[in-house]
């Protein structure tokens, strides 16, 4: 598989997922060899799907054609390995164009309903060969591999009986009627049996495995499997025939034991999982969904959508794709998009700048929030991550109780390492705990990218390249987000459906930052050693960030310089520009013990980094006084003692 085409569609606003054309109803659940089997009617036909106890990543599956219980040991072995097994009864249609049409609908239904992998392994016995090969030739891009067991590959052999096979006169008449042949001569002239027109399958690289009995007189292999395999190989295809001879053979050699069922299972597993793209649906959780924003966009035809996060949200790419998708999905809706991504910002900055950067714009209908990369990179403590993320959720929902929220987890090398070692990154556990409690949808792109890299669909070094994704990586993100949105936004809404306010439960942590806000430095009473530079701009040639250069800064470079500030609330912090000369501060609350905070960061040598420094949290929610002073100690890497404060932040 060409890894560059695995997501060939992802920068266009694509992905209107397959519609479930057929209607399934009357589900009956049972147990088959310890596995759950769901039986139902599909367009009036018997159908079933058997579920593994634990599905493999991507939900690979095998589709049985005719005689679904024959050689069932193969099915049970595949179920143990994590495959789904599906079947629909088109038994008396002999793989005709009408049968293929039913299979097309059933494929779409299964993919949409059970999130199965897009490429399926086909398994047919006897006349089932007419089904699997005829459907596969029309749908070569959807086929992982084909396994045929004593399969009919030319109906002139069976049921017609025009060659070595005795055939079946009764079945032959049914087949002719199904295909619309008026005479035997017309049937003989038909040129689209499984042995014919195999070019598309060869081009798609679909491997074939057929087992046969050399004693089979009902479906003689010379005019069926051997003929098909020879034709396939001559076209350059990969095909194998395995004669079975060690077990009991009955029904004139047509029914026999499979010599090596494990070989068949290995063939299906290898070709269904190797280099096949995983299913993105495995990496998002719907929870309460996005019903309110769907109604808002469809009925009220207005939508305010905000994107809150760090540099991966700030940069162009996936966010632009979401803009385009929403505009196309809801062409009559007037959208306002708020891009509130700021590089280096995690959940704590988001919680305190939320009012300024997002909520001040008006009522938000849909919020995309991400912070997993920066919360980990910035070494934010787990309790603060959760207080900040919970604060964002509660603050937004207090502003608009009907707002829909999507929480996203982006990837970085440390998360790939964790997932490959079977560990869920701690920061994702923290954020997921909040999402689960408030029933917020999540999209775990960190896990998905990790799995796709391990699955060898692409590489970090050559394709994704960085935690700031390449265009290819942005496309991977966009693909999954749009698949998620298309699934939730394809749900029908009734005329009487209304937007529903979501009540807030008691908080997970009463000290969460749900009333966070920024305080302008002009509110601070200056003292000796401190001054405000109304248009600060560094002279050292090091990098800066927007809104942290050519703006007012409260500055001190003098050890011992002290400043005091009284506030009401349970948390307090400062936002600094931490550059090459960033020093240390000492602080205390309500005349308590002095504590130190190093303002110099891992990035300060090259950048005056915007840095949120939480100095106190979990306080009683009352009036407090904080004292700050420039320490006479500093980081060994720092060139000075500077403290440059852009804002204070408080949670009341």
pLDDT at 541: 94
Name the residue with tokens 């295809």: 237
Could you tell me the two tokens for 124? 């047919």
Residue 606: which of 546, 545, 542 has the closest Cα?
A: 542
206 with 87, same domain: the answer is yes
Identify the pLDDT of residue 18.
33
pLDDT at 259 over 80: no
User: Which of 127-141, 237-251, 553-567: highest mean pLDDT?
Assistant: 553-567
Examine the domain organization and report whether 437 and 551 are in the same domain.
no
Q: Which two tokens stand for residue 468?
A: 């700031």
* Pair (316, 268) in one structural domain: no
**Whether pLDDT at 75 is above 70:** yes
For every residue of 577-646, which 3-state class applies, written as one string? EECCCECEEEEEECCCCCEEEECCCCCCCCECEEEEEEEECCCCCEEEEEEEEECCCCCCCCCCCEEEEE
For residues 13 and 485, give the distance between their C-alpha atoms in angstroms, rounded to a whole number.
11
Say whether both 437 and 469 belong to one domain.
Answer: yes
Longest dimension (CA), the chain: 107
Mean pLDDT of the region 618-622: 95
Q: Has residue 560 got a pLDDT over 90?
A: yes
Per-residue confidence band for 21, with pLDDT thresholds at 50, 70 and 90: very low
Tell me the pLDDT of the chain averaged across its residues: 91
| 275 pLDDT higher than 80 | no
Domain assignment of residue 397, given as a range: 280-489
pLDDT at 278 over 90: no
Q: Mean pLDDT, to the nearest integer, of 139-165?
A: 93
Q: What is the pLDDT of residue 9?
A: 37
Same domain, yes or no: 402 and 299: yes
Residue 352, in any domain of the structure = yes
- Same-domain status, 336 and 256: no
Domain closes at, from 273, 289, 308: 273
pLDDT at 2 (0 to 100): 41
Domain containing 478 — which CATH number? Answer: 3.40.50.1110
13: pLDDT strictly greater than 70: no
Does the residue 18 lie in any domain? no
Give the end of a domain, one of 273, 295, 312.
273
- Does residue 588 lie within any of the structural domains? yes
The Cα–Cα gap between 559 and 585 comes to: 9
Let me know how long the chain is: 652
Lay out the sheet containing 595-598: strands in order across: 562-569, 622-630, 584-589, 595-598
Q: What secondary structure, in 3-state letters, does 111-166 show?
A: HHHHCCCCCEEEEEECCHHHHHHHHHHHCHHHEEEEEEECCCCCCCCCCCCCCCCC
Copy the structure tokens of residue 254. 């047509």
The CATH number given to whatever domain includes residue 258 is: 3.40.50.1820
Q: Residue 114's closest CA among 40, 186, 188, 51?
A: 51
Where does a domain end: 222, 249, 273?
Answer: 273
Task: Please indicate, yes or no, whether residues 603 and 640 belong to a single structural domain of this protein.
Answer: yes
Asked whether residue 258 falls in the same domain as residue 290, the answer is: no
pLDDT, residue 252, reads: 80
Q: Looking at the structure, do residues 524 and 601 belong to the same domain, yes or no? A: yes
Do 452 and 564 share a structural domain? no
Q: 623-632 pLDDT, tens per residue?
A: 999 999 999 9
CB 376 within 8 Å of CB 431 = no
* Cβ–Cβ under 8 Å, residues 191 and 223: no
Q: What is the mean pLDDT of residues 334-361?
A: 96
- Please answer whether residues 570 and 541 qualify as being in contact, where contact means their C-beta atoms are separated by less than 8 angstroms: no
Average pLDDT of span 467-488: 94
Considering the domain architecture, whether residues 106 and 253 belong to the same structural domain is answered as yes
Is the four-CA dihedral 88, 89, 95, 96 of positive or negative sign? negative
Q: Is the pLDDT of residue 33 over 50?
A: yes
Evaluate whether 349 touches 412 at the Cβ level (below 8 Å): no
Q: How many domains does the chain have?
A: 3
């Amino acid at each position: 598989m060409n890894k560059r085409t695995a997501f060939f569609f992802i920068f266009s606003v694509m992905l209107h997922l397959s519609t479930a054309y057929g209607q399934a109803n009357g589900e009956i659940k049972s147990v088959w060899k310890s596995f759950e089997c769901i039986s139902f009617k599909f367009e009036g036909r018997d159908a079933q799907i058997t579920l593994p106890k634990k599905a493999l990543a991507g939900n690979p599956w095998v589709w049985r054609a005719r005689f679904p219980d024959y050689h069932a040991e193969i099915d049970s072995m595949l179920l143990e390995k994590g495959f789904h097994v599906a079947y629909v009864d088109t038994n008396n249609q002999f793989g005709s164009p009408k049968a293929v049409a039913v299979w097309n609908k059933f494929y779409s239904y299964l993919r949409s309903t059970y999130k199965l992998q897009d490429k399926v392994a086909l398994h047919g016995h006897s006349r089932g060969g007419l089904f699997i090969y005829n459907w596969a030739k029309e749908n070569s891009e959807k086929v992982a591999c084909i396994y045929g067991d004593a399969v009919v590959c030319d109906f002139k052999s069976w049921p017609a009986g025009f060659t070595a096979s005795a055939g079946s006169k009764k079945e032959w008449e049914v087949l002719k009627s199904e295909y619309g042949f008026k005479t035997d001569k017309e049937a003989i002239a038909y040129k689209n049996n499984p042995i014919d027109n195999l070019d598309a399958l060869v081009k798609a690289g679909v491997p074939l495995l057929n087992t046969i009995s050399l004693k089979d007189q009902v479906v003689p292999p010379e005019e069926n499997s051997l003929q098909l395999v020879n034709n396939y190989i001559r076209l350059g295809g990969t095909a194998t025939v395995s004669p079975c001879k060690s077990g009991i053979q009955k029904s004139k050699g047509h029914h026999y034991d499979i010599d090596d069922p494990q070989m068949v299972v290995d063939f299906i597993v290898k070709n269904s999982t190797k280099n096949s793209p995983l299913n993105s649906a495995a990496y998002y959780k719907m929870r309460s969904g996005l019903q309110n924003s769907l109604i808002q966009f469809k009925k009220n035809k207005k939508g305010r959508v905000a994107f809150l996060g760090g540099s991966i949200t700030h940069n162009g790419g996936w966010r632009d794709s979401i803009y385009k998708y929403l505009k196309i999905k809801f062409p009559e809706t007037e959208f306002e998009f708020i891009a509130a991504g700021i590089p280096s910002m995690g959940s704590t900055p988001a919680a305190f700048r939320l009012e300024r950067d997002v909520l001040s714009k008006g009522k938000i209908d849909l919020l995309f929030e991400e912070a997993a990369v920066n919360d980990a990179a910035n070494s934010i403590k787990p309790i603060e991550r959760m207080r900040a993320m919970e604060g964002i959720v509660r603050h937004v929902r207090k502003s608009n109780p009907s707002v829909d929220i999507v929480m996203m987890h982006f990837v970085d090398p440390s998360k790939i390492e964790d997932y490959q070692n079977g560990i869920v990154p701690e920061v994702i556990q923290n954020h997921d705990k909040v999402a689960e409690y408030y029933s917020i949808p999540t999209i775990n792109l960190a896990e998905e990218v990790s799995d796709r890299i391990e699955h060898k669909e692409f590489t970090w070094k050559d394709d994704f390249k960085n935690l700031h994704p390449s265009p290819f990586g942005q496309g991977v993100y966009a693909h999954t987000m749009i698949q998620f949105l298309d699934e939730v936004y394809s749900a029908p809404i009734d005329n009487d459906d209304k937007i529903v306010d979501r009540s807030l439960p008691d908080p997970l942590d009463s000290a969460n930052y749900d009333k966070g806000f920024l305080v302008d430095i002009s509110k601070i009473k200056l003292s000796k050693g401190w001054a405000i530079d109304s248009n600060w701009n560094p002279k050292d040639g090091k990098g800066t960030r927007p809104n942290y250069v050519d703006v007012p800064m409260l500055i001190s470079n003098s050890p011992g310089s002290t400043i005091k500030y009284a506030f009401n609330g349970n948390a307090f912090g400062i936002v600094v520009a931490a550059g090459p000369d960033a020093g240390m501060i000492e602080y205390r609350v309500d005349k308590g013990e002095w504590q130190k905070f190093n303002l110099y960061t891992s990035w300060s040598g090259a950048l005056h980094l915007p840095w949120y420094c939480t100095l106190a949290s979990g306080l009683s929610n009352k009036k407090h006084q904080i004292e700050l002073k420039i320490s006479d100690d500093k980081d060994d890497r720092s060139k000075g003692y500077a403290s440059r404060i852009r804002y204070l932040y408080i949670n009341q």
